[in-house]
Structure 1
């Protein structure tokens, strides 16, 4: 395959984007006639954001690019520097995508108003079929690499599966960035929709007009903004704690089985797999209840306590904070993972070296970020925006 699997997957995304631009032009021109330029510009802005997010994630997470190799080199000095270097690369990776999302929001609004912002999100989601397929590629290659390792297959097979797994990590990072970017644009569209509700407009007319409700020079708005910035961080903490707490209990259970099941350590007996699966499933269901309730209950609570001014600030702060946290965690986890794979290829001492041990620590720190808290923030943002839209018509007349 010319260019390798990563190039093939990238080409498929670019082809899907090109076909979407062409089909959107034909459909919008046919449906809207002379008024096609604004909506078409909005759709294209969303598609271009997807390309920017994908290319940025590829650059910062691929083991063939400088950032992941710098993280691998930092592991030579120990796990602490490996983690610090990874954090730096993760935060760097958020800057250009956030700028592109801000530009798309502005361009689409100037082109077609609130409708344009929604079209920008639709444009970004138009290639979701290719993105979902690429995202599914990651876990498949990850499990294939795990099976090859556990089965003791020859080194040639392991090298191929490890390479595919590394590309899968990069594709997962691209897809997570795509998901959080589209979630931010969708949440912005919901945010604008909230301000157009009849109940919101009626409240605004009572207090002096929409400009007063939407102004940052308002104590309620500013308080809501600060709370909104903090809530995605609280959500992230709860999800990571759920992962670490569940892992701790699983480690205890595995140690118990080694102690109490005769012959397990020597490989003569079978472990109790069902018990471990049951514990992991129960932990996931129990510990994610509170983070889910945060998304549903916080918007109506803020609306009731701080009014529409506070809710507007809350949603704005949550979108900005959640976008950064989601994109950072999705990228940094895969950067650490691919830095470890780069070391395992024989660089900086290879497998079994102190550098490899440090890289494994960094990869372990990144796993709950890239696989749990990071991807879930995009759902969190959209759910909060929907919750605000659902509860506002019932609460606003009471204020």
Structure 2
């Protein structure tokens, strides 16, 4: 490999190491914050133990699944072991395992810091909003630095050691397959507990959200960590790796490939550097708005990235058109975030209109929330479409003379790299949400007073709003990434045609009037709704079991309902129900998506798979955006009413708002964010099995 690429590989490794040093410093800073309240330490320990127990059991289940997949990859991919080069198959399986391991480590790091930061943030709330905010934010930033550092390091090492971009897709598939199950399993766990705690506590008994009498309350707090921290970390690790892998696969197939590949690594490394700078500039003044502080930090990081990449483009003589594609992706990512904020922020019209509808009962809560959720898909879909079109048109002329399509698709992949460039900051903001949500619960359970509760309520509300924005951002990024992966699939198919010496035309696109393509398109479009239904039915079945357990405890444990001194619920029983149910439900949905892809490919070949990926992308993005935004809107509607609007807590509107939030919970935290991982997994399975579909298909 040339000096250009080697230089950028070394730079990527150095900046990854800097991210790990930053994560370590932040971890030490958060751990050193004062905490002395015994009640908070006791409850915090229960949350920590529950989260670690679930993660250990989940990873044991996933080790078995990943071992079977690794064996299948060894035998069949990138081509059957008896036909191809055994070294390629071994490289593919090794990179797959590395992808799963790094993804799992990212989740574990997130859990370990989040369950410390929640206690620190809770106790800091007694001193004021600024120290509480900083403990929560820096806790989330540990996750951001660790996830992006390990994804950039993993991609760079695989490329350096193998020099094979197809093997990179194996690494990406490892990250995606673990992320799919971590997000689905964590999502089922967290929403089982959340729905059960809300329905049995708030609606039936009229007790506060984090009342320690509620047997599901610890499971609910555990769920915030395993779903919104570990699951989300694995999800964004996967998106970041997939965007880099897709860009590198396409860059390798173009003229001047080393310079184009160096550009991918350079921009990704600068994005991580910008996030590191952004984390250290994050601050908020006492009495300021935490939502504004979080958003301002994102804008600052975006500006730093834009300036540094422009400087790098000038210094290293990169092509300005490709820089433009990257800038388009980043700007559209921010715009999608702002559009999501409009539909989910409790200061904006949609939330206020749904809160008003709550006065007329839960039926109107649901219909209005669903309607706004559906409308909210349009700006983001237009944004993804415009950014893909603009990036394609901007970069395609570089391939003048017959290679316009390849360069245009490379432009889209660079827009995805641009959109995900500040993912370190996005993860920091996202992980902040569950940390301060837990802190709010600890303040209530530790009786730290109304002032501390008011502060953590304010931080929690900001976390919800920003979390909705980051979900919109990550879905938009996943959209661009999978369009880039469609380009990577075409590249892999054409490379396989040349390598195998097949007498067939190279693929340049997919004609929807071709019945084989249309067959794949229809099947691919049907997968996201079925996948979502399987996950939400898992939450439904599990929550019914947990509600029955809560009723049993209130019925059988004397003095629990009245809150007698020394009477405690059996928290571990609810944690056990959520854990067992989540692990039972998480594998079937993921397997359904993977097996469907393989079946379509073996039935209709590469053209059917091209249609399948396209249908899956369009349907998946709409479902993901709709469910994430509806869920975020209902959650903030409930909080808006609890702040004293439309009758406040325990009013008719409040009970309707809780019902809406209960419907929205599996929408926004189980099915919605899992779909973008499902789309990525499907696209990667198609790419790494391209040779298989070329040589074995019925039609």
Q: Is the 8 A contact 2:306 2:327 kept in 1?
A: yes
Q: 1:386 to 1:256 in 2, by over 3 A?
A: same
Q: Distance in 2 between matches of 1:69 and 1:37?
A: 44
1:199 aligned residue: 496
| Deviations, residues 193-249 of structure 1 (Å, cap 9, x unaligned) | 1112223578997555535x6111111111111111110001100111111111111
What is the correspondence of 1:157-306 to structure 2 with a 5 Å cutoff?
A: 157-197=452-492, 198-199=495-496, 206=503, 210=507, 214-266=510-562, 267=564, 268-306=566-604
Moved more, 288-297 or 127-136: 288-297
**Which fold has the larger relative contact order, with Cα–Cα distance below 8 Å and residues 6 or more apart in sequence?**
1
Aligned to 2:635: 337
Q: What is the distance in 2 between the residues matched to 1:327 and 1:206?
A: 42
- Aligned match for 2:681, one of 359, 374, 383: 383
In the aligned structure 2, how far is the partner of 1:69 from the partner of 1:382? 35
Aligned residue in 2 for 1:5: 290
Partner deviation per Cα, 1:316-374 (whole Å, 9 max, x = no partner): 01101111111111111111111111111221111121111111111111011111111
Q: What is the TM-score of this pair, normalised by structure 2?
A: 0.54
Structure 2: gaps spanning 5 or more residues: 1-284, 396-407
> Counterparts of 1:62-81 in structure 2 under 5 Å?
62-81=345-364
Deviation per residue, 1:110-162 (Å, 9 max, x gap): 22222111111111111011100100111122122223334455433333222
Matched-pair contact (CA < 8 Å) for 2:497–2:504 = no
Report if the CA contact (8 A) 1:43-1:119 is conserved.
yes
Aligned to 1:351: 649
State yes or no: 1:24 paired with 2:309: yes
Matched, 1:116 2:411: yes
Structure 1 gap ranges (5+): none
Structure with more of its chain in helix, by fraction = 1
Tell me, yes or no, if the aligned pair for 2:440 and 2:460 is still in contact at 8 Å. Answer: yes
| Cα RMSD for the two superposed structures | 2.0
Distance 1:275 1:200 in 2: 56
1:181 deviation in Å?
1.1
Q: Distance in 2 between matches of 1:229 and 1:203?
A: 31
How many correspondences in the alignment? 396
* Aligned match for 2:326, one of 43, 56, 63: 43
Contact 1:62 1:166 in 2 (8 A): no
3-state SS of 1:217 partner: coil
Please tell me whether the aligned partners of residues 13 and 130 of structure 1 are also in contact (alpha carbons under 8 angstroms): yes
Provide the secondary structure at the position in 1 that maps to 2:689: helix
Aligned in 2, Cα 1:358/1:203: closer, same or farther, shift over 3 Å?
A: farther
Name the SS for the 2:512 alignment partner: coil
Secondary structure, aligned partner of 1:196: helix
Deviates more, 1:173-182 or 1:158-167: 158-167
Deviation at 1:386, TM superposition (A): 0.8
Which of 338, 342, 347 is matched with 1:55 structurally? 338
CA drift at 1:53: 1.2
Query: Given that residues 553 and 570 in structure 2 are in contact (C-alpha distance below 8 angstroms), is that contact kept between their aligned partners in structure 1?
Result: yes
Do the aligned partners of 1:28 and 1:39 also contact (CA within 8 Å) in 2? no
Counterparts of 2:498 and 2:475 in 1: how far apart (Å)?
30
Change in Cα spacing, 1:204 to 1:149, as seen in structure 2 (3 Å) is: farther
